[in-house]
Each structure stands twice: as structure tokens, then as C-alpha cells.
Amino acid sequence: MKMVFIDKISGEQMKKLVQRPAIKMDRVFALVKPILADVKKNGDVAVRKYSRKFDSVEIKNPLVSVAEMEKAIKGVGVEVRQALKIAAGNIEKFHREQLKKEKAVETMTGIKCWRETRDIERVGFYIPRGLVSTVLMLGVPAKIAGCQEIVMCTPLDKTGQIAPEMLLAAKIAGIKKVFKIGGAQAIAAMAYGTQTVPKVNKIFGPGNQFVMAAKMLVSIDPEGAAIDLPAGPSEVLVIGDSAANPAFVAADLLSQAEHGPDSQVILATNSQKLAQATAKEIKRQMTGLPERARKTAALALRNALFIITGSLDRAVDFANLYAPEHLILNIKNPERYVAKIKNAGSVFLGPYSPESAGDYASGTNHILPTSGWAKSYGGVSVDSFVKKISFQKLNKQGLDKIAKAIAVLADIEQMPAHKNAVKVRTTKLC
């Protein structure tokens, strides 16, 4: 963990401070491109080949049958069922409120414009092994949006199965087509379609650098598919003041650090005492973690930053510059600073709002922009699963009112046919 007093550094040093570790994507793209081309050309044959190569599994039929799903979910315990039910219910409540019908607008007499919502008919989900919550985060809003076909791909676990909890989550979310496919080959299968996997219009979900590279590449291929948002390693920024409980802050930082060795973990505070106490608390809490989580967190914490500021306003300024995936305001009266937050994926207010709440069960979506993309992207919502189609209806009077403006603008852009399309309908051109 590195402690930095940002009130004493230059603007250039600040720019470097908010930069994420660079990922050499050229090498990753070079490895992924042949996989995409192979699946695009050879379909299921190529998918099976890469499943053998990368996952060491032989998959004859990747589709999970109804009987297979029902058999698997029978063994899920009551406690897990209840947890999934609570999470799914809260996610649905939050996302259903996003369905707002827009009003038609009469821009001038005789000119009426409006938008209507249409679902993206076919969507695909990539769910990393064991991420039950992500199934709900994608499936529930897709169902609310009315998507007609939902395809889910997920790699098999070490036993050669999909965890029953994953399949139960899929059923709760209304996902009927689940495929036992992982890696870049899964992205290719959904983007281009195979003999077994339907082609989709948009692909959602997190993954490793190969999965993300595959998503980026298919998104720029006219024959491929759109994607949800750019994503990289997960990250959290906690803003704390002197009143913050260092145990709470440490727990939040560790919960992020256990995501992976490349996770970004930052504390910004106007209290050096809190920073020092949090560092001690991190060491104490790490001793209680299982070995795997402890090792992962330790690697992530090597790049952790403790930002010391002269004021909370300065800490918020840093947060806006960093644009974190998760932002926790563990301070007195956090509501005072809500309007000042400009760039963040999801914001957690107060000492009893851990990132874990949003990750699992509060209702907000945990598919969020990382790597500073929160400056221009929001997280996944119902809007992610729909498109807005604009409509307009003009009568003769309405067209007469804007005919001259159309003619002038068409002349500027040297589009005489545009001008003529109005001229043949009206005599108001001069």
C-alpha cells in the first residue's frame, strides 16, 4: 500500500496517479482473432476444439437440457433459494421502475415527435464460472425489457458441471438456453451463431482479458454483435473521514481486493489517522481470510493507494478524476456530496452501505464501467436491453413551417435531393 499526499503533487503526477495498469492488448487480440475466425467459419466443431484445448473438456452437446436443469436445481438448499429470491426480487423492483413511457412532443403546430421502446430481440450473456449474482443482474432486467431470446454461456466447473445454483438463478431470471461454453469461443458462438448456439444482437457480461478482447473485436465486426460496455479489472474507491470506522473501511477494501490480483483498491481521506488505522486493520482482517482469498488480496494490495487530502472536497475531486467502478462515501452526512459526484459506476452512502450490498442484493446492477469509463458510461440497466426508435408525423401545415429551414440547411450541405423532397410537397420554398 502506497500513501500519497495529493495536495503536494503536480498536475502531471496526478494524471499518472489515476492511470490504471496497462494491459498489452495487442498480444491478446492476436491470440483471440484466429479463435473468432475459426468459430465464425466452422461453428460447433471449432467451439468443441477450443473447449478441449483451453478447458480440457469434451462437450458433445453444449446445451443444458430442461431435464438436466431440473435435476440439478433440486439439490439446491433452502438457504440458497431464499437468498436468490431476495436478490432477484430487489433487482426486479429497482429495474422495473426504469420503464418510463415517453410523451409525444409537438415541436411546432403540425409536427409531432416521439420515441418508442423496443426490446433487443436476442441477447447473450457470458457468465464466468460460479458468478451466480451476475446471472440475476443480467437476466432480470433483460426479462423486464421483454427480450424474446436470452442465451447464456458459462464454462464448466472442475467437476465438469455447471453449479446447480447457477442453473437455478438462470431459471429465476427466465433464461431457457444455457450453454456449457467458456472463453473467447463462447463470445464467438453468440456473436456469429453456430449449429447449436443462436446468434445474438448484443453480448453482456464480464470475463478475463481474452473474453473482453473477444467482445471488443466482435463489436466492431458488422457480422458480429454489440456489447454492453468496456470493462477491465474491478475497482473500489472509499472516501473516509475521521469518523469512519477503520474496520469497515478495511473490510470494503479487502472485499474488492479478493476479486483478483489486478483489482484496484483506493482509500481517499482527509484523516491520516484513519489511513494508518485502516492499514493495521487490513493486516488484522487478512489473517482471518482463507488462504486463496488472502493470497489474491495480498497481490492486489501491492498496488493499493491511500490518498491523503486536505479536505473531503479534494477527495471528491480526486474521485471524479479517477472515475471508479465503485465509490463508497463512508463519511458524515454523505448526502451533502451526492450532487458533487460526477463520475462513478455505483455509489454507496454511509457506513452501512458496503459494496457487497450492490454486488448481490440491494437491487442496483453490478455490471459497471471500469478503467475510468465511468466518465462516459453508466452501468447496465433496462435501457441496455432496449433501443429507442424515434417517430414523427407532420401534416401540410407543419411541413410548411419548416420548409424554408430545411431548404437553407440542405443548400449549405449541398444536398439538392433533400431540398427537392420538401419542394415537391410544398410551395413554401423560395
170-171-172 Cα angle (round to 5)? 90
Name the catalytic one among 92, 165, 235, 326.
Answer: 326
Contact between 264 and 20 under an 8 Å Cβ cutoff? The reply is yes
The Cα 374–Cα 395 span in angstroms is 43
Encoded amino acid at 146, one letter = G
Whole-angstrom distance, CA of residue 266 vs CA of residue 370: 14
CA distance 146 to 121: 8
> Grid coordinates standing for 110?
403540425
- The single residue listed with the C-alpha cell 470506522 is 245
The three cell numbers locating residue 334: 454523505
Q: Answer yes or no: are the C-beta atoms of 115 and 145 closer than 8 Å.
A: no
In 3D space, the residue among 362, 92, 333 whose CA is nearest the CA of residue 346 turns out to be: 362
Grid coordinates representing 189 are: 458462438
Rounded CA separation 47/62 (Å): 10
Torsion of CA 354, 167, 122, 59, to 10 degrees: 120
Residue 82 contacts by C-beta under 8 Å, 6 or more apart in sequence? none
> Of 325, 335, 413, 418, which is the active-site residue?
325
Told to judge if 259 belongs to the known catalytic residues of this protein, a careful annotator would answer: no
What's the CA gap between 131 and 137, in Å, rounded? 10
How many whole angstroms separate alpha carbon 351 and alpha carbon 209? 33
Nearest-angstrom CA–CA distance, 254 and 289: 10
Nearest residue to 95 via CA among 384, 405, 309, 392: 384
C-alpha dihedral sign at 291, 292, 294, 298: positive
Mark whether 326 is an active-site residue. yes
Could you list the active site residues?
325-326
